[in-house]
Amino acid sequence: MGRLTLILLTTLLLAIAGCSGLDGSKKTVETMKIVGSTSMLPLTEKLARQYEKNHPNVRIYVQGGDSSLGLKGVAGGIAEIGSLSRPLTSAEKHKFNHYQLTTDNIMVIVNPKFPVSHLTQDNIKDIFSGRVKNWKAFGGPDSSITVITREQGSGTYNVFKDIIIGHTEITENALVMASTGAVKAAVAMDKYAIGYISSQYLTGEVQPVMIDDGKNESLVFSRPLIYITGSSPDDTSMGFIKFVLGAEGKAVINEHRIN
C-alpha cells in the first residue's frame, strides 16, 4: 500500500469515526435555536451550556435581539424557543406555550459621577418624555439631560414604558440602543446620561437611581422572564424546557441571580 493511499484511508476512517460511535453506530446530533431578549442572553447561555454538558448529543444556538424577535422566530419556525423579558398579552398566551423561568429586575441608571441619586416616578416620566430637559430641575447641575433608551420591540423597552412611562411617548431626541449592554456603555461614557437596564447587567460603571413611586422607594421594578414554544414543541425543545423548570435548571437560575 502506497503512502498516499494510506493517508487517504486514514483520513476516511477518521471522518467515519467522527460521525459514528466506536461500535459503528451513527451519532445523531440534535440542534435547537433560542432567539429573543438580549436581557435574557446571559442566563440563556448558562442554561444552554449546562444542558449541553448533560446531553452531549444536543447543540443549542442562542441569539439575542429583542422580545419581538422571540415571538416572530417561533411563529415563523425559525427558532424552537423564544425568550421574552416582558409579560405576554392575552392573545399571545393563546397562541404560544409559555413557561416563566423567574423574574428580572429593571433599574434606572445614571453615571456614577452624577450627583442625582433619587427621582420620583413622575420625574422619570418628565425626563423620558422630554418635558424636562435639564438636570437643574431635579437639583442637579445646569446641564442638558442625555436620554438613553432601548428600541421599540425590546422587552426591556416595553416593560419600562408600560410600568414607568405609561401612555406617554419617549422623546424622539432619545438615543436608541440595540441592547442592554449598549445602554449601560452609553450611560457610563456620558456624565449627564440616564437610561434603564436589566439588573443582571449592573456593574460599577453605572449607578442605579432610587425611585419613589409615591408609596415606596425602590432601586428596581420587576418583570417576568419567559420562554415560549409553538403549540406542538419537539422532544428536544421540551427536554430543555423540563430541565429549565426542574431542580437543576432552577439552581443555575438562582446562581445567576446571585452573581
Query: And the C-alpha cell for 232?
Result: 406542538
Q: Which residues contact 117 (CB under 8 A, 6 or more apart)?
A: 110, 207, 209, 210
So where are the chain's domains?
Answer: 27-103+225-258, 105-222
Q: What is the pLDDT along the chain (259 residues), one digit of tens a residue?
A: 555 334 433 433 443 344 444 455 556 889 999 999 887 888 999 999 999 999 999 999 999 888 999 999 999 999 999 999 888 999 999 999 999 999 877 899 999 988 888 999 899 999 999 999 999 999 999 999 999 999 987 878 887 887 788 778 899 999 999 988 899 999 999 999 999 997 778 888 999 999 887 777 888 878 889 999 999 999 999 999 999 999 999 999 888 764 4
> Which of these CATH numbers, 1.20.1090.10, 3.40.190.10, 3.20.20.450, 3.40.1160.10, describes 105-222?
3.40.190.10
Name the packing angle between helices 247-258 and 235-245 (round to 10°). 60
Q: Comparing 27-103+225-258 with 105-222, is the CATH topology the same? A: yes
Tell whether pTM > 0.85: no
Q: How do beta strands 217-218 and 118-120 pair?
A: unpaired
* 67 close to 154: Cβ distance less than 8 angstroms: yes
The Cα-based distances of 104 to 62, 136, 178, 198, 254 in angstroms read: 19, 32, 19, 7, 12
Bridge partners of 106, per DSSP, are 198, 221
The DSSP letter of residue 25 is: P
Q: Which residues contact 248 (CB under 8 A, 6 or more apart)?
A: 50, 54
* 67 close to 61: Cβ distance less than 8 angstroms: no
Query: Whose CA is closest to 226, among 44, 46, 63, 52?
Result: 44
Query: Whose CA is closest to 50, among 198, 208, 251, 185?
Result: 251
Domain covering 27-103+225-258: architecture: 3-Layer(aba) Sandwich (3.40)
